[in-house]
Amino acid sequence: MAWVEVCEAGEVDVEDVIRFDQEDRSFAVYRSDKGDYYATDGFCTHGRFHLADGLVMGKLIECPKHNGRFDITSGAAVRVPACKDLQTYPVKVEAGRVYINIE
Amino acid sequence: MAIVVQRRDYSLLGPESKQADEKGLASAQWHATPIPRARMKELMKRKDGPAIRDTLIWLGGLIILGYLAYLSWGTWWAVPAFFLYGTLYASPGDSRWHECGHGTAFKTPWMNDVVYHIGSFCVLRSATPWRWSHSRHHTDTIIVGRDPEIITARPPIWKILYMQIFHLYGGPIEIKRFILHTFGKLEEQEKEYIPASEYDKVFREARIYMLIFLAVIAACIVTGSVLPAMFIILPTFYGGLLVLTFGITQHLGLYEDVLDHRLNTRTVYFNPVFRFLYWNMNYHVEHHMFPMVPYHALPKLHEEMKYDCPEARPSLWAALREVIGALRKQKHDPAYVVVKPLPVTALPYRYGPELNDDLELTRSEA
């Protein structure tokens, strides 16, 4: 398991998202309206636009360019033009820091 | 000696599409005005209230004007009465189609969907194909060979604009598409931007539209009058003046093939009535740069972005004068575009994939 440290837990607001780049890969790390952390690939599966500029609504992320939506808990595409699901990654919070497993 | 002006190929199936891709103009990164994340989150926030209020006013207005138009039938009062009814049918139909298509007008998804379908029918746009067409328009705004929603080529084809006063260019194209979709077929161009997984939905919607058409035609035959069609379907045609008037201010006369909405899109100040009809789409630079901001927050977004944008046109009339003037010049000089100086606080224009490409091919005025 390749756990990578992302940020301090408080750096992601509730119902918000941040961008996290690791070498040539880019991720989006979210907090839902319940305060839980999730992570997915950073770019929308419809067009190459980063989801970290989008809007988190409950457990959904809306792409900033075409308003496609994904469920951040499962990566499922739930609104067109997004049709292909996002890859999700396990997230853990330890000692006040957020980690994602990018394997 | 006559000068022959070569017109570019605006179709999505021609060589320009591949060229745009090779130039790095397709699905590219566009200029975005920096706005603090916290402020942007406030602006993106969804609400149901404003859109419910506006939808009730719209539909209530249609009932009142429709009743007055019905009473006036057979008199000369029918002319202004149906003009007003048709305008209230088609113009908000266009803007509601647009906003609900983005899914931002209402907070509640099903409300967006219901009004999206009503708006789509009001302007006779196939709901699903136009959703995808508009998505491409946002990806590749006014990129020749990529954007399916460029109103007219350069030099301008005036016939299209004149015909569109009564939707006589786009209307028949859409009806032809409905028939095609009803029989389970798509135009080749539509296959460029509609994924195969959506085809069944396209065909189903076309068949529903076709049933409504047939019901209206049957009502006209049964009553021996065109009156039923005057309330549904025909308003798209006789009420289309403002749809065209507002629509041509969005991009015409400005740049093609750039990666900056400040160069190819126009923001215009409208009066409150026009803003209601158009659901604030007059803030068009703002909408294109940040399509996730709902219509009711666009005036606030405009204030946030002012430091980075050219001055808005002061009125619809001023915008129309600018558009028509530019189109007239493009008749002889297709490369002509209106250039707007930026405020000193603004970031530089992004002309292409490389910042500040040379513009030797484009004549312009400051």
The DSSP symbol for A20 reads: E
Judged against a pLDDT cut of 90, whether residue A2 lies above it is answered with: no
Pairing of strands B364-365, B337-338: parallel
| Chain B contact set for A54 (CB, 8 A) | 292
B232: tokens are 């549904």
CA distance A27 to chain B (A): 18
CA distance B291 to chain A (A): 6
Contact present, B295 and B276 (Cβ < 8 Å): no
Q: CA B166, CA B83: separation in Å to the nearest integer?
A: 12
Interchain CB distance below 8 Å, B103 and A79: yes
Which residues are CB-neighbours of B22 under 8 A, at least 6 positions away? none
Judged against a pLDDT cut of 90, whether residue B186 lies above it is answered with: yes
The verdict on B35 touching A (C-beta cutoff 8 Å) is no
Test the B interface: residue of A12, A80, A83, A84 with most B CBs within 10 Å: A80
Judged against a pLDDT cut of 80, whether residue B160 lies above it is answered with: yes
pLDDT band (50, 70, 90) for residue B7: confident
CA distance B269 to chain A (A): 24
Q: CA B195, CA A29: separation in Å to the nearest integer?
A: 29
Cβ neighbours around A54 below 10 Å, total: 24
Identity of the amino acid at B72: S
Instruction: Say which CATH number the domain at A87 has.
Output: 2.102.10.10
Q: A26 is in which domain, residue-wise?
A: 3-101
The verdict on B50 touching A (C-beta cutoff 8 Å) is no
Q: How do residues B297-340 score in pLDDT, each as one tens digit?
A: 999 999 999 999 999 999 999 999 999 999 999 999 999 999 99
B118: tokens are 């009503």
Report pLDDT for B359: 42
CB nearest A55 (choices: B27, B132, B292): B292
Query: The tokens 């190929």 sit on which residue?
Result: B9
CA distance A5 to chain B (A): 23
Domain spans in chain B, listed from the N-terminal domain onward: 27-331
Q: CA B31, CA B13: separation in Å to the nearest integer?
A: 27
Q: Note if the bond before B15 is cis, omega within 30 degrees.
A: no
Q: How do residues B215-258 score in pLDDT, each as one tens digit?
A: 999 999 999 999 999 999 999 999 999 999 999 999 999 999 99
Interchain CB distance below 8 Å, B135 and A66: yes
Give backbone dihedrals phi and psi of B131, rounded to 5 degrees, phi first: -65, -40
Residues of A with a Cβ under 8 Å from any B Cβ are 16, 46-48, 53-55, 57, 62-67, 69, 79-81, 83
b/e map B152-179, b = 16+ CB within 10 Å: bbbbbeeeebebbeebebbbeebeebbe
CA distance B128 to chain A (A): 10
Chains A–B, number of C-beta pairs less than 8 Å apart: 41
Cα nearest neighbour of B293 on chain A: A64
Judged against a pLDDT cut of 50, whether residue B58 lies above it is answered with: yes
Report pLDDT for B302: 98
Strands in chain B per DSSP E: 337-338, 364-365
Q: CA B147, CA B254: separation in Å to the nearest integer?
A: 15
Interchain CB distance below 8 Å, A81 and B41: no
Q: CA B100, CA B148: separation in Å to the nearest integer?
A: 19
Judged against a pLDDT cut of 80, whether residue A97 lies above it is answered with: yes
CA distance A91 to chain B (A): 23
- Please work out, in degrees rounded to the nearest 5, the angle formed at the alpha carbon of residue B117 by the alpha carbons of B235 and B82: 15
* Element at A16 (helix H, strand E): strand A16-22
Cβ neighbours around B341 below 10 Å, total: 9
How many Cα atoms occupy the beta-carbon half-sphere of B56 within 13 Å?
5
Percentage of chain B exceeding pLDDT 70: 95
Interchain CB distance below 8 Å, B292 and A54: yes
Strands in B3-113 per DSSP E: none
Report pLDDT for B2: 54
Query: Distance from first CA to last CA of chain B, Å, rounded?
Result: 31
Whose CA is closest to B287, among B129, B134, B58, B147?
Answer: B134
Identity of the amino acid at B277: L
Q: How do residues A23-73 score in pLDDT, each as one tens digit?
A: 899 999 999 999 999 999 999 999 889 999 999 999 999 999 999 999 999
Interchain CB distance below 8 Å, A83 and B195: yes
CB nearest A67 (choices: B32, B103, B195): B103
Interchain CB distance below 8 Å, A64 and B198: no
CA distance A45 to chain B (A): 13
Q: CA B113, CA B127: separation in Å to the nearest integer?
A: 10
The verdict on B139 touching A (C-beta cutoff 8 Å) is yes
Interchain CB distance below 8 Å, A64 and B197: no
CB nearest A64 (choices: B131, B132, B292): B292
Give chain A's domain count: 1
Judged against a pLDDT cut of 50, whether residue B365 lies above it is answered with: no
What DSSP string runs through A47-93?
SS-BGGGSEEETTEEE-TTT--EEETTT--EEETT--SPPPEE-EEE
Judged against a pLDDT cut of 90, whether residue B8 lies above it is answered with: no
Query: Distance from first CA to last CA of chain A, Å, rounded?
Result: 6
Q: CA B261, CA B284: separation in Å to the nearest integer?
A: 9
Cβ neighbours around B306 below 10 Å, total: 17
- Cα dist from B232 to B54, B98, B105, whole Å: 21, 20, 24
For the entire predicted model, the pTM comes to 0.92
